[in-house]
Amino acid sequence: MRDSLIRNNPSAVVTGVGLTPFSRNAGRSALELQGEAALQALDDAGIRARDVDTVIAGYATTVNHIMPGNLLAEYLGATPERAFGMNVGGATGLAMVAEAARLVWSGSADTVLVVGGENRASGQSRDAAIATLAQVGHATHEVALGANIPAYYALLASEYLHRYSLKREDLAPLAVQMREHARTHPGAQFHKSITVDDVLNAPLIAEPLGLLDCCPISDGSAAFVLSRRSEGTRSVEITGIGETNLHQHVSEADFSSVGARQSAEQALNQAGAVVTDIDIFGIYDSFTITLAILLEEIGIAQPGTAGGMARDGAFAATGKYPLNLHGGLLSYGHPGVAGGMAHMAELVIQIRGEAGSRQLVERPRRGFLHADGGVLSAHVSIVLDGGAYATPSTAEGLK
């Protein structure tokens, strides 16, 4: 059904991108940040808010409102046919994009605005943020014992390191690589280089995860415009989507297969591609262990090898698998829904050839994105392709 849907209906193309810098204190409310990114995306697409027929907004922990899409639409002066919100944790950004693509493919929507963002760092206390996010845990068996997000992922990290006879230093190169990428992006929250020793000597947050194994809490926003048609050569088509949810709680999970593999296979099969066809990657990296598990289950890395591959340069801009070239959640920052959306913004910009000093020497054509929500619970994968909208001269620079 998915294959027939994508092949027999209009293309869903990303025509607009908006991304704010991520920081500890943006000096703006969640709605103001969402509006800023939304207007950037609309300007990039060459349209106005009133041209949008659908608005999809992600949840924000600092906004106590049950209708985030409708609230944002009014703020922008848009009068869409439909507006709604979504919440699947860290996977929300890509889940919104996937839903937008389905609406476009089905002919139900022509122009969709997708937005996520909040002042998560400055709009609430650290303790409030941690307590809110801890609720992804089981109310009886996990939250009641005082667990929080770092603790859940620390359990995964301990099991992973034991399973493959690894040590903390085997995960650390992933954090080092993400920081190296962030150094060249002006919007990143962190720019100072770090080393493996820095990662190992940083304060422990939840053993075996230290401070630099964990993403920061940030302010920021991101937005996309998806359309049925494109005028010009800067559009990037969504050619595959996949989603899987095998569990919600750590105490109910089978971590030999969390769902990333199934989600990735759906998206790649729909796009008619395999991992080796992909030129650039954006993989969710809320913790170093998150990134390691996802890279390995998707099939980009062999079990137990993700950290070693990072150490050997496989995920560098010049490596075999260019990964999170903006710095990822670990170094660009993480303001909730917009965190995973920043991965997609970087891939679209790279495929367009507009990344400036970060631009890959050989302009990528196909990109692969993956995000998870909860504790490796909700999974969303997306395949992007810029080849269909390239001019003949541009196509020469695409693989």
Alpha carbon distances (Å) from 246 to 257, 259, 263, 301, 378: 9, 6, 11, 22, 8
CA dist 63 and 30 (Å) reads 7
Within a domain: 327:
yes
Within a domain: 266:
yes
pLDDT attached to residue 10: 72
Q: What's the farthest any 2 CA atoms get from each other in the chain?
A: 60
C-alpha distance across the termini of the chain, in Å: 29
- pLDDT digit string, tens, across residues 212-246: 999 999 999 999 999 997 767 799 999 999 999 99
| Cβ contact 307:294 at 8 Å | no
Please check the confidence at residue 67 and state whether its pLDDT lies above 90. yes
Tokens of residue 167, six digits: 């040590």
Backbone dihedral angles phi then psi of residue 205, each to the nearest 5 degrees: -100, -50
Domain coverage including residue 276: 2-123+217-395
CA dist 280 and 370 (Å) reads 12
pTM of the model: 0.95
* Percent of the chain predicted with pLDDT > 90: 85
Query: Residues 6 or more apart from 364 whose CB is under 8 A from it?
Result: 279, 280, 322, 347, 350, 351, 386, 398, 399
Within a domain: 87:
yes
pLDDT attached to residue 220: 98
Domain count of the chain? 1
CA dist 119 and 27 (Å) reads 8
| Cβ contact 105:5 at 8 Å | yes
**Cβ count within 10 A of residue 340:** 34
pLDDT band at 39 (very low <50, low <70, confident <90, very high): very high
Within a domain: 353:
yes
CA dist 310 and 176 (Å) reads 8
Best CA proximity match to 105, nearest among 54, 172, 61, 51: 54
**Cβ count within 10 A of residue 257:** 12
What is the per-residue burial (b if ≥16 Cβ within 10 Å, else e) of 140-162?
eebbeeebbbbbbbbbbbeebbe
Q: What's the chain's average pLDDT?
A: 93
> Which amino acid belongs to residue 94?
L
Please check the confidence at residue 320 and state whether its pLDDT lies above 90. yes
Residue the block writes with tokens 């494109």: 230
**Cβ count within 10 A of residue 138:** 16
pLDDT band at 393 (very low <50, low <70, confident <90, very high): very low
Within a domain: 53:
yes
CA dist 36 and 221 (Å) reads 8
Tokens of residue 180, six digits: 């190296």
What would the mean pLDDT of 172-180 be, rounded to a whole number? 98
* CATH number for the domain that contains residue 359: 3.40.47.10
| Cβ contact 215:329 at 8 Å | yes
What would the mean pLDDT of 116-121 be, rounded to a whole number? 97
Q: What three-state secondary structure class fits 99? A: helix
Within a domain: 106:
yes
pLDDT attached to residue 190: 98
Within a domain: 81:
yes
Residue the block writes with tokens 């609406």: 103
Query: Residues 6 or more apart from 256 whose CB is under 8 A from it?
Result: none
Within a domain: 186:
no
- pLDDT digit string, tens, across residues 343-379: 999 999 999 999 999 999 999 999 999 999 999 999 9
Weakest-pLDDT range from 121-135, 232-246, 310-324, 343-357: 121-135
Classify residue 92 by burial, with Cβ atoms within 10 Å: 0-12, 13-18, 19+.
buried
